[in-house]
């Protein structure tokens, strides 16, 4: 259904810093994002301005991976973080928007 493409190393840096069990859970949720036509809201949520979060829960820990759509079925993975409060921190959303802007600038210069 969809293709995932990490932008630079931001996603991989986050992913590789996690334990194998958290990586497994991230893999599971990313497979849902790729393969399901309608992704359940507890795995995927629009935040604002075209920025989405992929929602991963591993035990009592909560992780978020920011992403956006490019050309319909292409999901660009940005960065991730471990969520420690109820609300998604504004600085994390701002970082996702900055990375999206950089992605389009890089794409325009190819």
8-44 pLDDT tens trace: 999 999 999 999 999 999 999 999 999 999 999 999 9
CATH value at residue 39: 3.30.2310.20
Q: Is 37 exposed, middle or buried (0-12, 13-18, 19+ CB in 10 A)?
A: exposed
pLDDT at 21: 96
d(CA 103, CA 7): 7
Count of the separate structural domains present in the chain: 1
pLDDT at 14: 97
pLDDT at 109: 84
Helix (H) or strand (E) holding 68: strand 61-70
d(CA 68, CA 66): 7
d(CA 44, CA 109): 30
d(CA 76, CA 30): 12
Asked whether 66 and 96 are in contact (CB, 8 A), the reply is: yes
**Which range marks the domain in which residue 50 is found?**
3-108
Question: Would you place residue 110 in the very low, low, confident or very high pLDDT band (cuts 50, 70, 90)?
Answer: confident
Which position has the higher pLDDT, 75 or 1? Answer: 75
The pLDDT tens digits of the residues spanning 42-89 come to 999 999 999 999 999 999 999 999 999 998 889 999 999 999 888 889
């Amino acid at each position: 259904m969809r293709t995932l493409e990490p932008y630079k190393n931001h996603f991989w840096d986050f992913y590789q810093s996690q334990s194998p069990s958290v990586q497994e859970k991230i893999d599971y949720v990313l497979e849902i994002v790729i393969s399901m036509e309608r992704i359940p809201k507890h795995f995927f949520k629009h935040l604002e301005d075209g920025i989405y979060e992929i929602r991963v829960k591993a035990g009592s820990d909560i992780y978020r991976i920011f992403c956006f759509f490019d050309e319909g079925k292409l999901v660009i993975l940005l960065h991730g973080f471990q969520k420690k409060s109820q609300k998604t921190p504004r600085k994390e959303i701002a970082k996702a928007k900055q990375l999206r802007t950089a992605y389009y600038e890089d794409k325009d210069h190819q």
